[in-house]
Amino acid sequence: MNDKTTISRAERQRIQLQAEIIEAAFIEFSERGYHQTAISDIAQRLGIGHGTFYRYFQNKRDILDKVIADTSVKIMDLLANENAPGAVASVEEYRIQAERIAGKFLEFARENPRIMRLILLEATSIDQQMTAQVNNLLHMGGLFTASYLKDGVTRGFLRADLDIEMTGHAIVGFIVAGALRFLAAPDNTEAMKSYSQAAIQMMMFGIASIDQ
């Protein structure tokens, strides 16, 4: 690699410490609650000074904003290439794509349970601005899901009379309900597989063209 693409040791250390601060903050939030957690609690858990914390984040809220922004990017990465809108050409391919995406979401949830819990269960109790931010994230998810449906309608393998936007939001509702079930029993892999299969079956029954 050349100098433009190589990450320096200092940059790697900066990224690592930023991730450690986020992890420490999440632990404190889960143990104390967001409002009861002070910057000193986070710094003390990591053994760093306040000044070090403020080199990375302005305040506790800045941590949440970054986590939500990073989560949005990671989710969009899951929905790229073969999982992107327009990547399939038949209702069967669409079903297989939905199963693949469901698996990716489950994998993400297993790797990021604290983030899932924060966004779905805790963030909306922080303040109105954070509630609006989470609602906007879900709304944008519905609109993005609608782009899959629009492509299927255009290609003729999904129902022509589909209310694309509202169906997109309904599918996001399936996903959120599944995420909440995961958080209630994260080790119950079989239950999550059964939920995904049931949700996909219901979705496909409602949106597939009668000619398929």
CATH code of the domain covering residue 42: 1.10.10.60
Type of residue numbered 32? R
Do 31 and 106 reside in the same domain of the chain? Answer: no
Is-contact 155 209, C-beta < 8 A? no
Is 212 inside a domain boundary?
no
pLDDT at 99: 95
Q: 45 and 84 share a domain?
A: no
Residue 91: its pLDDT value, please?
94
CA of residue 78 relative to chain centroid, distance:
9
Distance, CA of 47 to CA of 34 (rounded, Å): 20
Same domain, 160 and 140: yes
Q: Domain with 116 in it: what CATH number? A: 1.10.357.10
- Phi and psi at 107, nearest 5°, equal -60, -45
Shared domain check, 182 and 114: yes
Altogether, the residues listed in the chain come to a count of 212
- Per the listing, tokens 């990591």 go with 46
Q: Measure the CA–CA gap between 98 and 102, rounded to whole angstroms.
A: 6
In this structure, the answer to whether residues 168 and 65 fall within a common structural domain is yes
Rounded distance between C-alpha atoms, residue 153 and residue 57, angstroms:
45
- Span 81-103, pLDDT tens digits: 999 999 999 999 999 999 999 99
Q: Which domain holds residue 51?
A: 1-57
**CB-CB contact of 114 with 26 (8 Å):** yes
Q: Are residues 110 and 24 in the same domain?
A: no
143-147, 187-191, 206-210: the lowest-pLDDT one = 206-210
Kindly state whether residues 78 and 181 are assigned to the same domain. Answer: yes
State residue 29's pLDDT score. 85
Same domain, 39 and 96: no
Average pLDDT, integer, range 23-34: 85
Residue 20 has pLDDT above 80, yes or no: yes
Q: Is 179 domain-assigned?
A: yes
The answer, yes or no, to whether residue 192 has pLDDT greater than 90, is yes
User: C-alpha distances in angstroms, 41 versus 16, 21, 91, 108, 127?
Assistant: 19, 11, 52, 28, 21
Per-residue pLDDT tens digits for 155-175: 999 999 999 999 999 999 999
Can you tell me whether residue 158 is helix, strand or coil?
strand
Q: Judge whether 185 lies within some domain.
A: yes
Whether residues 156 and 144 share a domain: the answer is: yes
Instruction: Write down the pLDDT at residue 211.
Output: 65
pLDDT of residue 2: 46
β-sheet bridge partners, residue 208: 158
Q: Is residue 65's pLDDT more than 80? A: yes
173 & 191 share domain: yes
- For residues 161 and 207, give the distance between their C-alpha atoms in angstroms, rounded to a whole number: 9
The residue among 66 and 154 whose pLDDT is bigger is 154
- 150/83 same-domain check: yes
DSSP for residue 60: H
Tally of domains within the chain: 2
Q: For 110-138, what is each residue's pLDDT tens digit?
A: 998 888 888 888 888 888 888 998 999 99
Q: Is the pLDDT of residue 36 over 70?
A: yes
Same domain, 1 and 104: no
As a whole-number percent, the residues of the chain with pLDDT over 70 amount to 96
Count the neighbouring beta carbons within 10 Å of the beta carbon of residue 166. Answer: 11
Q: How many angstroms separate the CA atoms of 42 and 39, rounded?
A: 5
Calculate the average pLDDT of the chain. 90
pLDDT of residue 92: 94
